[in-house]
Structures are given as structure tokens and as C-alpha cells.
């Protein structure tokens, strides 16, 4: 049975004190530290890369969950594997052969999981040939590229479709998740929830993390 996991999105945090915030989030009960990596091509925004992950790894032991919104994920596998990323999520819509990305990670980086993301307008069928080879599937509930967008309820049909067919799969949702939207996502079958603004804009980060995780547990996923 997949477990309930909360993954604060550090895109909403303060990059000037990234290590301190990561330590704090882990102390408050965060399971993953979600790092959004954007190349300015696949999405119209540019963020951090592998050197930041490498620097962060020197200060924290937590699970670093990297979501690569990049055109050519294959070229970044080595950088993130060597930097100490625990998970490498790439998009099925990228221009590289997904099987090559998966194979390279499996053959060379035993300590790095491999996951795949799917955008809101992409049919869920496009990801099905690869699900059995993945550690997690990320269903985007906003268009990737920027934080703070409104939650797209229409994407939850993909979550439900995947949960019905893969009951043991970790299914992550990312985009617009808050106390107002998490119940619908969990009911559809999501057990890994990425939340940025909802956590970092809360009066109490620790209470918000606990509240969000409790909703996943109440939805039937064990802690």
C-alpha cells in the first residue's frame, strides 16, 4: 500500500536560506523536498540546476525529489545522479526517448529513483508503456513552469485511471494543492502531494504540513 507523503515545493521558499528551510521542513514532517528544475526551453522559466542539489546534499540527509521540466532529460541524468538527487522525474513530453532515460538511471545510479511526469493536456495513455518501469508517476494539476497557479480538477481523472490499474504505485500530484483541493486529489488516488504556496504562506509551516498529511491518511493511505 502506498504511503502518505508530503513534498513541500521549494520554488515557493527562500533560496537565500535554502539549506535552513530544508532542515526545518524535514523536522516538521516533510517526506520529500521537491525541487523544480526548469531549463527555460521546455517551460518559459529558468530555475536551479544540479550544482544547487550538490551543495544542498552537503547539509541535509533528506529525500531530494527533483522534477525536471527540461527538453532533454537524458543529458542531465549524470549531473543529478552525481549531485545526490534521490529522485529524477522527467516529462513524457520531452524530446528524448523515455526508455533511454530510464535505462541510463537504472544502470548507473542505483540510489536514484526514476519517475515520469505528465502535463494536463497530455492523454494518460502516453505514459502507460513506461509505468511498470517507474518508481512514481507525477500528474501535473497545473501547467508546469510557474508556482501559484489554480488547481485543475480535470487532471484528476488521470490519477483515478492510474490508481485503478496500479494500486501499489506512488502517484504524485503537483500544482494548486491546498486544504481546499487535497481531498479531491487523494480521493482520486494521489498519495504524494506537492504543495508550495499552501505551505510557505501558512501562518505555521509545521501545522500545515501535518494538516495536509492528515488528509492523505484520512483518505486511506498509511503514514
Is 168 annotated to bind a ligand? Reply is: no
Has 20 been annotated as catalytic? no
* DSSP letter assigned to residue 4: P
> Does the annotation list 67 as a binding residue?
yes
Instruction: Tell me which of 36, 65, 96, 170 is the catalytic residue.
Output: 36
Strand intervals (E) in the chain: 5-8, 32-38, 63-69, 87-91, 113-118, 136-140, 170-174, 192-195
Any known ligand binding at 157?
no
Was 175 annotated as part of a binding site?
no
Q: Is 13 annotated as a binding residue?
A: no
Residue 189 annotated in ligand binding: no
Catalytic: which of 65, 96, 170, 174? 174
Q: What is the 3-state secondary structure (H, E, C) of 83-122?
A: HCCCEEEEECCCCCCHHHHHHHHHHHCCCCEEEEEECCCC
- Residue 65 a catalytic site member: no
C-alpha cell at 126: 502516453
| 121 is annotated as contributing to ligand binding | no
Binding residues: 9, 34, 36, 67, 145-148, 174, 176, 196-197
Binding residues for a divalent metal cation: 34, 36, 67, 174
Catalytic residue list: 36, 174
Amino acid at each position: 500500500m502506498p504511503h502518505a507523503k508530503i513534498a513541500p515545493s521549494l520554488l515557493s521558499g527562500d533560496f537565500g536560506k535554502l539549506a535552513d528551510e530544508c532542515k526545518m521542513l524535514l523536522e516538521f514532517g516533510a517526506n520529500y523536498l521537491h525541487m523544480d528544475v526548469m531549463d527555460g526551453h521546455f517551460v518559459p522559466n529558468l530555475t536551479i540546476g544540479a550544482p544547487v542539489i550538490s551543495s544542498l546534499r552537503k547539509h541535509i540527509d533528506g529525500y531530494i525529489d527533483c522534477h525536471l521540466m527540461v527538453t532533454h532529460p537524458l543529458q542531465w541524468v549524470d549531473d543529478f545522479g552525481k549531485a545526490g538527487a534521490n529522485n529524477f522525474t522527467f516529462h513524457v513530453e520531452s524530446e528524448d526517448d523515455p526508455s533511454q532515460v530510464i535505462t541510463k538511471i537504472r544502470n548507473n545510479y542505483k540510489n536514484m529513483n526514476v519517475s515520469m511526469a505528465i502535463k494536463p493536456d497530455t492523454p494518460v495513455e502516453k505514459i502507460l508503456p513506461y509505468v511498470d518501469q517507474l518508481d512514481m508517476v507525477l500528474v501535473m494539476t497545473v501547467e508546469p513552469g510557474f508556482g501559484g497557479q489554480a488547481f485543475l480538477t480535470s487532471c484528476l481523472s488521470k490519477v483515478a485511471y492510474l490508481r485503478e490499474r496500479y494500486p501499489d504505485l506512488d502517484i504524485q500530484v503537483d500544482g494548486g494543492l491546498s486544504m481546499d483541493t487535497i481531498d479531491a486529489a487523494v480521493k482520486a488516488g494521489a498519495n504524494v502531494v506537492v504543495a508550495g504556496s499552501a505551505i510557505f504562506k501558512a501562518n505555521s509551516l509545521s501545522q500545515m504540513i501535518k494538516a495536509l498529511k492528515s488528509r492523505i491518511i484520512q483518505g486511506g493511505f498509511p503514514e
